[in-house]
Structure 1
């Protein structure tokens, strides 16, 4: 079968959506699917010089930076080109992963050709607007997203909670497409004591880790407040931020004692996870939150909100700690509760986190995606 997948983000870009789509495409290609991936050219990318060719066709269009996210790009609305290509070599199904101009153009082209369209709801862009001083556009953005997705035969969300919330908001034909975790890559055995030394973690101290974009919508300031409260009771602990983003320079100025590890990928990222002890993630805008399951697979004790991946996989007091969504005071309390655990209790919790992650395979996620696509055809 032939799938045309259209997205504004794709590897080697580093984010949860990009990683998920890459996994799905490689998984389907391994099962014999014929794929075409349409995406915008990425920052600093020379398309003609690409040497690592994926096992599928790529159609790369021009892109423009997303406001507030200069490193991410929206694709041009290449509807005419897609219509011409799909008319000559018709896909059995079109999957639209993002709702930007490129995704809408693809939706129009597919409907004109009578090709079934599936979509995924990956990112709460309407909630992001509150964090970038444009909250007045939230209602319009919410309406826009619903209109786009309701023109698709199915909208897949990464958790049951999100699928139910979308249905309550008027989204039609919602379903679930979860996300897996690579437990071979993200593993406690990748722990590196020399790396911990570069972080300045003294004997008897712990590394408190955050991985993700250093951005307002990730609620990064609450993570820092939680660590400040923790460090008053545990002065030997150190905070490590792994990632890049628009808030990075501000945080460097405000918190000179924090270790800023920058963007990390692959085995290097896995070492950074596994070399930590506690993991704080306070985002309220996630549709899933891959970094949480990666941290759990790496054997870290996680503190999250009862939301998205936290609601799906983290059980309070058993394999992590969970705070009520939006309750920043309780998030800090839960951080202190996690940090106050006896060493044996903390070890059990971290071991349970790893066991949970071992049950979340990418193979089952690809199974689910393939079944959804075939049912539409």
Structure 2
């Protein structure tokens, strides 16, 4: 089969959408399919790799280093007339994504969209909560142009169906348990963090930005420090809120963006993953922490709701219960024996999740759309 993927974010950009879409493309190629990619040019003069089409982009406000693709409907129509894909996957809802869905519809090519980002919740985090219904209507209109909207959890599938999203289809997520593993715990790295003995290290991995609800992580950690003054807090990632956070908390450890093996070392070298975000569609980092044998404190939705069992793998807190989040951080963070048992159980819980299975399911969805379109298309005269 020949598939096309359209996305407005792609590595080396580091975010959940970019890494998830890259993994989906790699999975399809590993299954023997031809996969073409359409994305914005990340730097001036950038040349496309094999199978890539680079389009014009513009900087994304509040997100330095990220771009959104500018409209390119005519360009995509010509591209797909010349080399027609059997199905298209549109991963992002920006202008390039809209262009891709329009071009696919005009050419009669089946298209699936991916629901990767809760823009409606971002409205609240950036102080314009009154725009949440507008954002949801905009997203519904976009995704209903597609033949299927792919979501990572049953919970989100139910939520969207209740709000008028059509053809919502479950595509579960997985984690590479070979990359993320407790064996990558690194005592030299812990020493570099200034950790003494068995002092607990809390870690946050993700974008350092308003939508991640980071003040709660800070409050929870400070409460842990009341009972373990030697505790340390490591932050992996970057973002617009880092500067202020670093000025206000000079004892925190800021590790910057980490990738690949280095990211695995950082995860495995921590003792407790704090994830206070309420704006995730899934939260891949939850699975990465569990695979690394690190207990997690997070709100009970997304990946946490799907895979983390409260009291066994960490704490799954009712969304919005900040006191519960803080109490769980103090309780688990101060008990080394409990963290050890939870870490083993967390690793076991995700050991059977295989990226290869996700790729197979993704392939089945796109191939099914292609077959349906072929049956519906009138025979040539």
TM range (shorter): over 0.9
Name the counterpart of 1:5: 5
Name the counterpart of 2:374: none
Name the counterpart of 1:23: 23
Name the counterpart of 2:101: 107
Q: Is the 8 A contact 1:322 1:334 kept in 2?
A: no
1:181-260 correspondence runs (5 A)? 181-260=175-254
Q: 1:125 and 2:119 equivalent?
A: yes
Name the counterpart of 2:259: 265
Task: Give 5+ residue unaligned stretches, structure 2.
Answer: 371-381
1:1-377 correspondence runs (5 A)? 1-42=1-42, 44=43, 46-48=45-47, 53=49, 57-341=51-335, 343-377=336-370
| Offset at residue 10 of structure 1 (A) | 1.3
Q: Deviations over 1:68-124 (max 9, x none)?
A: 212211001111100011112111111111110000011111111111111110000
Mapped to 2, the partners of 1:276 and 1:345 lie a distance apart of 14
Mapped to 2, the partners of 1:255 and 1:177 lie a distance apart of 40
| Offset at residue 338 of structure 1 (A) | 1.3
How large is the RMSD of aligned CA atoms in angstroms?
1.3
Mapped to 1, the partners of 2:34 and 2:167 lie a distance apart of 26
Mapped to 2, the partners of 1:293 and 1:31 lie a distance apart of 24
- After TM superposition, which residue ranges in structure 1, 4 or more long, deviate above 6 angstroms? none
Q: Is the 8 A contact 2:150 2:170 kept in 1?
A: yes
Q: Deviations over 1:197-234 (max 9, x none)?
A: 11111113111111000011111111111001111111
| Offset at residue 46 of structure 1 (A) | 4.8
Q: Deviations over 1:99-157 (max 9, x none)?
A: 10000011111111111111110000121122223333322211110001111111110
Shifted more, 128-137 versus 216-225: the winner is: 128-137
TM-score (norm 2): 0.94
| Offset at residue 308 of structure 1 (A) | 0.3
| Offset at residue 45 of structure 1 (A) | 6.4
Q: How many residues get paired?
A: 370
Task: Give 5+ residue unaligned stretches, structure 1.
Answer: none
